[in-house]
Amino acid sequence: MKLGSWCAAFLILQALSANAQRSNCPVRDAAIPRQPPGMPPDITPQISFPNQFGGEVKIEMPPPRPASNDLTAAEEGHLTAIARMADVARVDTPSSSLLIIPIDARPTLLSEWRFNGYYPERGHKVTQVFSRAGSVLVLEQWDYKADGITIFNTRQPSTAVGGFPARTGGLQTPSGCVAASLSWEDNETSFKLILVGPLPLPEQRQVLLGVAQSMHAVRSKATK
């Protein structure tokens, strides 16, 4: 084999190894950390107080950071906690007081996954958990308008789901295990998908985007 061919083969193998994970990712018996992964975002809004009593307090958020696909450094247990959600999820239908209709998985790509159940949440948030071939997929659906919340994204979008801006991200542990994430919002609901398991990061992100697009297509038909 010529030198150029050897170099090309070496670079391909390097790229594959950089994206590969061990077959036993995530670590199932790691201790669950008490703190969330990463550092809290450095967000300092500008607050303008009214000149007279009863006036409106104006809050101006700083501009979002540039779009990025970077992964956040995390402990092994952060991914373990996501995987364990499949063990504690229950198939009981969430309370009607949540005022939210969970995404119906049957007409979406989620139908290719085993439904483990719902994960307990507070407020107007419903979390569904799915599993397949050693991977665990979590879908968070939050009716933030019903909770009186306004969402300020700290990072610019890096992709799109339907016509809505979306952000890719995820976690990476010291052992090299990764969990991809994808989040977006429509006019009243926030969605987040998280995937852990042995799939390489590019495949994880491809799965999440496919699931998200199928969810958007079903949701768009339902609102027409």
Q: Which residue has the tokens 């052992």?
A: 175
Measured CA distances, 174 to 25, 78, 106, 126, 195 (Å): 12, 11, 36, 31, 18
Phi, psi of 180 (to 5 degrees): -85, 150
- Paired strand residues for 185: 190
Phi, psi of 47 (to 5 degrees): -110, 125
Highest mean pLDDT among 14-18, 51-55, 80-84, 217-221: 80-84
Residue 9: pLDDT band with limits 50, 70, 90? very low
Torsion of CA 72, 77, 81, 83, to 10 degrees: 90
List all residues 6 or more positions away from 104 whose beta carbon is below 8 Å from its beta carbon.
Answer: 218
Burial class of residue 3 (count of CB atoms within 10 Å of its CB; 0-12, 13-18, 19+): exposed
Alpha-carbon distance 38 to 69, whole Å? Answer: 15
Taking the complete model, does pTM exceed 0.75, yes or no?
A: yes
**Looking at residues 82-104, what average pLDDT do you find?**
86
Report strand pairing: 190-196 vs 178-185: antiparallel
pLDDT in tens, 114-139: 999 998 777 788 999 999 999 999 99
**Is 220 within 8 Å of 162 (Cβ atoms)?**
yes
Residue 39: pLDDT band with limits 50, 70, 90? low
Work out the number of other CB atoms within 10 angstroms of the CB of residue 124: 21
